[in-house]
Amino acid sequence: MVVPFVTCCGWFSNLGSSSRAWDTRHCLLAGRSIGEGEVGRSILVIEMD
């Protein structure tokens, strides 16, 4: 499942920890993959398990 987020990576830890999506490195990679410079203000497309 692919879910778009408009948020800051730092908030992910408050949402849950059951998915690799909550990993900061994964978040940063997702931000780069859509070509956004500022990940905290990006629409992040996260692969959810």
pLDDT band at 4 (very low <50, low <70, confident <90, very high): low
In this prediction the pTM is 0.16
Q: Which helix (DSSP H) or strand (DSSP E) does residue 29 occupy?
A: helix 24-33
46 pLDDT exceeds 50? yes
Per the model's pLDDT, the better-predicted residue between 30 and 37 turns out to be 30
Q: What one-letter code names the amino acid at 41?
A: R
Enumerate the β-bridge partners of residue 24: none
| Residue 27 reports pLDDT greater than 50 | yes
Percent of the chain whose predicted confidence (pLDDT) is above 90: 0
User: Domain tally for the chain?
Assistant: 1
Contact 27, 39 (CB under 8 A): yes
Domain boundaries, position 41: 2-47
The predicted model gives 2-31 an average pLDDT of 48
